[in-house]
């Protein structure tokens, strides 16, 4: 017999639902703005933004997927589509013949340089400017704590799954 779940009280439920709804609405709004401002979908913007922050716009596919928190297949499909558009290029990985490197193409660099100012303007207007500096510090602390917990749980779940095989 399983124990009765510890149900959320009214305040906890409100906090959870508000968090989920804010995330959903922000992502929808940012997707619409990125598309209107640059013609990119948000996933393309995210790939270009991460690549543009690395020396020479070059990263291993594994590192890129890790930073985006994407599964390997999602990244592979997205990079293939972006390569077809001339935004990125795939190159052999000299450190691992089984994987590839992803490079920001000149067209991709121009695209992210044109899109980023608009994107940050929307992020600032619809999120950052609505939060006091103190609230921002609290938000950072809470999110980092949750992310740390989830990373710890993922590690322990991976080790438990490995034992069962």
Per-residue pLDDT, 160: 54
Q: Is residue 114 part of a domain?
A: yes
Q: Is residue 144 part of a domain?
A: no
Q: Is the pLDDT of residue 164 over 60?
A: no
Per-residue pLDDT, 165: 47
Torsion sign across C-alpha atoms 62, 63, 69, 70: negative
Q: Is residue 110 part of a domain?
A: yes
Q: What is the CATH classification number for the domain harbouring 99?
A: 1.10.10.10
Per-residue pLDDT, 161: 58
pLDDT band at 163 (very low <50, low <70, confident <90, very high): low
Q: Is residue 148 part of a domain?
A: no
- More confident of the two residues 114 and 165: 114
DSSP state of 85: T
Q: Quote the domain boundaries for residue 82.
A: 15-130
What distance lies between CA 112 and its chain's CA centroid? 16
Residue with tokens 């940050």: 120
pLDDT band at 102 (very low <50, low <70, confident <90, very high): very high
Q: Give the number of domains in the chain.
A: 1
Q: What is the pLDDT of residues 5-39, one digit of tens each?
A: 999 999 999 999 999 999 999 999 999 999 999 99
Q: Is residue 64 part of a domain?
A: yes
CA distance linking residue 90 with residue 104, whole number of Å: 9
Q: What is the pLDDT of residues 144-157, one digit of tens each?
A: 999 999 989 887 77
């Amino acid at each position: 017999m399983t124990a009765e779940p510890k149900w959320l009280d009214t305040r906890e439920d409100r906090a959870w639902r508000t968090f989920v709804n804010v995330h959903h609405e922000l992502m929808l709004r940012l997707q619409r703005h990125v598309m209107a401002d640059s013609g990119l979908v948000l996933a393309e913007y995210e790939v270009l933004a991460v690549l543009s922050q690395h020396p020479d716009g070059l990263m291993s596919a594994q590192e890129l997927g890790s930073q985006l928190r994407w599964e390997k297949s999602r990244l592979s499909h997205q990079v293939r589509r972006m390569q077809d558009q001339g935004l990125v290029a795939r190159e052999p990985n000299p450190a691992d013949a089984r994987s590839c490197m992803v490079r920001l193409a000149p067209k991709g660099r121009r695209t992210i340089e044109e899109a980023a100012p608009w994107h940050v303007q929307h992020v600032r207007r619809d999120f950052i400017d609505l939060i006091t500096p103190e609230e921002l510090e609290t938000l950072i602390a809470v999110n980092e704590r949750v992310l740390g917990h989830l990373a710890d749980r993922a590690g322990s779940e991976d080790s438990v799954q490995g034992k069962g095989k």
